[in-house]
Structure 1
């Protein structure tokens, strides 16, 4: 799929209600990207003529609306670059390259989507695109990190929640609850996106069940086109792949033994 580099005007850039960690939703008018984007792909963005964002930052596409010509990214304030993004006003331009990478497989049958942290964001676009409403299993440190449930509610058949401290849902991690969810719901497949340690645990449990499982990797990268080699990793077969051009979505068995 051809990538585009466009200057996209900001339509909305606001903190997400209920989030306690400086998480923002930015909606951009980017007609070509909205038409061509697939769930699981990402964009590389930078604020033109701003030293704080000299290198593009990768962000998963949280939503794409071809009719409105918009794409949505969800990001956390973590440093100079994202701080510059938080200050962007309606009508300002953001340089956007994309859509980049290979996305999720849109499988038939009810899917279980497992996410943690900002890894939940790309699952929003996936849930909207699947032929059947999915199940969700999401985790966070505490109730304040589970604001995602309100964003997911219209897209999900059912949402299971875990928190590390037990302040909401089941106490523990997503891996704590996953075996029971698999047994009770018997999904046709599993997709997971979030911290690597979480995805590894999910993949191990799903492998034992015999279900297909896909993981979406997050790696630091400078180019998004496979040149900088900053996002390479060694697969379980011993070959090296690049998250930007070969992924970011991979079969779990290629990533975790």
Structure 2
């Protein structure tokens, strides 16, 4: 390419500015292959941001849009969801963000994991970022285990966990007592079989249950000798 080849020099500048060879050829009335033949030896060139047959928008707008897409992908949104919302092809979203992965971003996954540890449900986390629950589940699985979150008990009733806390034993111990009929009959049983007691019922039971108190750990137990053999082995 000679110094006097002004069109070729202009093509070179335009390709370096992000204009595609096809768009240059269309605007100047020459085949795209001609543009490539005289400019390719002076590459490489940045990825074309202005191409034939595509809507051209100001660079500031394009940059803001790309940053918005990148943030959405870091928060777990899919390229198809972003493309549908923005009215563009999903291939464009993928191409503009692919080099900045992984997605979701590690710091976002850790944020979700901390939220799960704090007691938030996956549905709540997913709703905040407008993503499917499966994305949160899959991304945070390796950060567990997480405490299962069930429906909150209504005020004024106590479940197995609350009974264990009142007595000072583990929940499995209370489950065993229930199976052995060593606890009072529940005041309520839910459709799923969950046993619930009124606090007054448990207070009366504790006063009459004649449970022993371990002098070492203050746990309540039916058999102090058995408790010591299990919990305080030498």
TM-score category, normalised to shorter length: under 0.3
TM-score by length of 1: 0.22
Higher RCO (CA 8 Å, separation ≥ 6 residues) = 1
Larger strand fraction of residues: 1
Greater Rg, structure 1 or structure 2? 2
TM-score by length of 2: 0.23
